[in-house]
Amino acid sequence: MDSSVNLAKPAPGSSSAAAETFLSVRDLMVHFPTSDGVVKSVNGLSFDLKAGETLGIVGESGSGKSVSSMAIMGLHYGTGAKISGEIVLEGTDLLQLTPDEMRRKRGQDVAMIFQDPLSAMHPYYTVGNQIMEAYRVHNDVSKAEAKRRAIEMLDRVGIPNPDRRVNDYPHQFSGGMRQRAMIAMGLINNPGLLIADEPTTALDVTVQAQILDLLQDLQREFNSAIIIITHDLGVVAEMADDVLVMYAGRAVEYGPCKEILTHPEMPYTWGLLSSVPDVTGDTDARLIPIPGNPPSLLNPPSGCAFHPRCIHRDKVPGDLCRTTMPDLVPGQRGAHHTKRCHLANSDAIYQNEVLPEIAPDLADELPEEQR
Ligand SMILES: Nc1ncnc2c1ncn2[C@@H]1O[C@H](COP(=O)(O)OP(=O)(O)OP(=O)(O)O)[C@@H](O)[C@H]1O
Ligand code: SF4
Ligand SMILES: [Mg+2]
């Protein structure tokens, strides 16, 4: 593979900016008025991301992951969506841009790759043409130059014989190759932020691992910030610096990946961990699905939206879980870790009750005082 791709502009984090926040989302709200009522898809979502770092957004289906990322991409224009808050990318609030200004940013400064590249790519145009178009929209270059870049990028993402495959149509590529081509298209303008929405869900495990490795290689090379959206905590464990757990359109737990995976404080996160035993690497781990289904965002439950499914709500005094929505507050181990839950001693409950159930090997290794 050719790793000498000439970058069109300096990597966003190549200077002292590396340590600064590259993307700052504040109090993001996305609501969709419909004939049945208002779908409250995203409510008060806030997070930060630095250049070269990866944020994993996890949560079950319908928790608002894609709607949030589409807001960052400016893809809700014209849908009637009500959006408020701030999405500040390198000092510019994207929510204040006109549709034309946002169109110029899209592909250039922020790019997105989707779960299903076949539906994201046009079946009547060659893969090469679509990558060339993504480049020419933002760069005044000849078709020949754009084709050279497209071949270079296809080579960089590991497509064999790129000078020949550039002329293939999407259906002539395998699923893994299409995802590689989407990544090539997403990165051809060296955007500072790449959003990968379930990029490996449709792929088999081996190809999945290759695509995640590729994303990590390219991130190191381009110093991009990445948001990876996934149901799979295994993907998060491999890729993410920070993790944001979403439930019913809200952040319910947020913090450094290692912290969230080893000291989760929100029962919903425990549920996600319980249903993915290999995250803990425990040989005796049990797979325990979360009971019930995610709620409707037309009429979310009162209080803590997770309360109808939460097996720990009886540990909270009174009827608080059903009546009062918990704020997102610092966890027991410091302000770098926030959680939305009324439980007072959640770290102890996790270590003493939840961990022995889902990962007995790990629980056995804990010091006596933590069991
Ligand atoms: N245009 C729309 N109009 C009305 N409701 C919408 C619209 N787009 C999304 N929603 C609703 O917003 C909620 C969040 O959807 P979103 O696509 O963000 O979920 P998700 O977390 O990405 O789920 P999945 O894991 O299945 O992709 C869902 O209830 C969905 O039905
Ligand atoms: S607030 Fe109550 S219902 Fe919600 S996760 Fe915590 S214990 Fe469970
Ligand atoms: Mg989605």
Q: How far apart are the first and last CA of the chain?
A: 50
What would the pLDDT profile of 169-210 be if each residue is shown by its tens digit?
999 999 889 989 999 999 899 899 999 999 887 778 888 888
Contact 156, 2 (CB under 8 A): yes
Q: How far is the CA of 57 from the centre of ligand 1 (A)?
A: 14
User: Which CATH number does 16-240 carry?
Assistant: 3.40.50.300
CA of 71 from ligand 1 middle (Å) equals 12
pLDDT of residue 231: 86
The answer, yes or no, to whether any atom of ligand 2 lies below 6 A from the CB of 267, is yes
What is the number of the ligand 2 atom nearest to the C-alpha of 304? 4
Candidate of 247, 272, 306, 345 to mutate for ligand 2, largest count of ligand atoms within 8 Å of Cβ: 306
- Residue 228: strand, helix, or coil: strand
Nearest CA among 282, 251, 288, 249 for reference residue 266: 251
The enclosing H or E element of 42 equals: strand 37-50
Give the DSSP H/E element, type plus range, for residue 320. helix 320-323
Residue 45 and residue 9: Cα distance in Å, rounded?
A: 31
Q: Percentage of residues in the chain with pLDDT exceeding 70?
A: 89
Least confident of 52-61, 211-220, 301-310, 353-362: 353-362
Q: What is the pLDDT of residue 132?
A: 96
Q: Which carries the bigger pLDDT value, residue 92 or residue 357?
A: 92
**Ligand 2 atom with the shortest distance to the CA of 315:** 7
pLDDT at 19 (0 to 100): 53
Which of 253, 341, 346, 354 to probe ligand 2 with, by most ligand atoms within 8 A of CB? 341
Please indicate whether residue 290, judged by its CB atom, sits closer than 6 Å to ligand 2.
Answer: no
Q: Which ligand is nearest to the CA of 60?
A: 1
Ligand number, closest to the Cα atom of 350: 2
- Spell out the domain ranges in the chain: 16-240, 258-370
Helix (H) or strand (E) holding 346: helix 346-349
With the most atoms of ligand 1 within 8 angstroms of its CB, the residue from 30, 66, 195, 235 to mutate is 66
Sign of CA dihedral 217, 218, 224, 226: negative
- Per the prediction, the chain carries an average pLDDT of 88
Can you give the pLDDT at residue 281? 57
Atom 1, ligand 2: which residue's CA is nearest?
A: 341
* Distance set, CA 176 to CA 11, 118, 326 (Å): 27, 11, 42
- Ligand 1 centroid vs 25 CA: distance in angstroms? 19
Q: Distance, CA 19 to ligand 1 centroid (Å)? A: 33
- Output the ligand 1 site: residues, CB below 6 A: 32, 34, 39, 41, 59, 61-67, 79, 297
Give the separation between CA 103 and CA 111, rounded to whole angstroms: 11
Return the percentage of the chain with pLDDT > 90, whole number. 70
Tens digits of residue pLDDT in 117-143 = 777 889 999 999 999 999 999 999 999
Task: Collapse the DSSP code of 116 into the 3-class scheme (helix H, G, I; strand E, B; otherwise coil) and give the result.
Answer: coil
Which numbered atom of ligand 2 lies nearest the CA of 320? 2
